Amino acid sequence: MGRLCKVWALSLILIFGVYSSGCPKGSVTHKVTVAQHNFRSAVEALQNAEVAEHDKGFVPDDFHIKMQEIIEKIALAGKDLDNQLATGAGTATIKVKLDAIYTLLDSLNNDGIFGVKNVGAKATLEIALDAIKAIVDNALVEVS
């Protein structure tokens, strides 16, 4: 998890870099950057919830490992999106990056959360995942 924290710290630095580079407020880049900040927080909350449910014994080790691997991929995809935003990528590129994140979110659901048997743990993780998907959906609206 230390590596994931470093990825998030770098993402935060890149977000501040985009803000300080003067992306116009109200621009697609600005709106997606704001969404990316919310996304980062929501993914961190999902990870914390998954770890807590695993620690309670509600998420089996094999699903825990698989979900943590996918969450790391989501974090890296978020970093990639940050890099694209920082370099002023066009909306088509941003959309491709958001679509890739959405695919990873679907994978997290299908390959991890779906297999959790405890109803309460599964509901907690689904709610956290839905919050992330809503953020990505909103960002996709901005680039469409």
Question: What does the domain layout of the chain look like in residue ranges?
Answer: 2-143
Q: Strand, helix or coil at 1?
A: coil
What is the average pLDDT across 60-69? 96
The one-letter amino acid code at 108 reads L
Dihedral angle over CA of 73, 77, 78, 79, nearest 10:
100
Render pLDDT for 68-122 as a digit per residue (tens, 0 to 9).
999 999 999 998 998 898 898 889 999 999 999 999 999 999 999 999 999 999 9
- For the whole model, what pTM was predicted? 0.78
Among 3.30.70.20, 1.10.10.10, 1.20.1410.10, 3.40.50.970, name the CATH number for the domain at 2-143: 1.20.1410.10
